[in-house]
């Protein structure tokens, strides 16, 4: 059974980010890209968060996705989160993203932000990505 575009895209994003040397060199471990982090994931790590999808007015059943990726750091400043945000941006724009049962028509980082969390210990780095997928 083919994957729906949202799940196919999430699997591809996680695989791409876990395979990128620039991203993994900055995380606690190469696999520290999560949909749902384990109880104690270590610092820093990256979480696939909010994901919006809507039909995209194009031939071929396209879907527009807006995915939010969040870096969680306890470095003691914003430097680490900013570096990981930059690595994520480079990883997602430097090469093609391949999804099961479809193709990625466009991918673009539309927003990045770094700020302190409410606990004042954690720094968050947010990257928002717009992706348009098409069915095979």
Structure confidence by residue, pLDDT tens digits, 57-106: 876 679 999 999 999 999 999 999 999 999 999 999 987 899 988 999 99
Instruction: Look at residues 2, 94, 34, 104 and name the one whose alpha carbon lies nearest to residue 63.
Output: 104
Q: In what order do the strands lie in the sheet with 45-55?
A: 33-34, 45-55, 63-73, 123-135, 102-116
User: What pLDDT was estimated at residue 112?
Assistant: 98
pLDDT the model gives residue 94: 84
Q: Is residue 116 over pLDDT 90?
A: yes
pLDDT of residue 60: 65
Cα 32 to Cα 11: distance, rounded to the nearest angstrom: 14
Model confidence at 2, in pLDDT bands (50, 70, 90)? low
- As a whole number of angstroms, the distance between CA 7 and CA 18 comes to 17
Q: How confident is the model at residue 14 (pLDDT cuts 50, 70, 90)?
A: very high
Average pLDDT, the chain: 93
> Is the model more confident about 12 or about 94?
12
Please report which confidence band the pLDDT of residue 1 belongs to, taking 50, 70 and 90 as the band edges.
very low
Domains of the chain and any CATH numbers: 5-135 (3.30.2000.30)
More confident position, 87 or 56: 87
Name the residue with higher pLDDT: 57 or 1: 57
Q: Residue range 31-58: average pLDDT? A: 92
């Amino acid at each position: 059974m083919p994957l729906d575009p949202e799940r196919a895209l999430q699997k591809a994003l996680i695989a791409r980010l876990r395979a990128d040397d620039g991203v993994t060199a900055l995380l606690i471990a190469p696999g520290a890209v999560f949909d749902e982090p384990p109880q104690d994931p270590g610092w820093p790590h990256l979480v696939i968060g909010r994901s919006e999808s809507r039909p995209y007015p194009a031939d071929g059943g396209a879907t527009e996705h807006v995915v939010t990726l969040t870096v969680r750091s306890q470095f003691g400043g914003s430097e680490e989160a900013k570096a990981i945000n930059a690595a994520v941006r480079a990883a997602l724009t430097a090469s093609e993203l391949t999804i099961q049962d479809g193709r990625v028509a466009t991918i673009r980082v539309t927003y990045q932000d770094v700020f302190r969390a409410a606990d004042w210990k954690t720094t968050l780095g947010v990257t928002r990505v717009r992706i348009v997928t098409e069915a095979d």
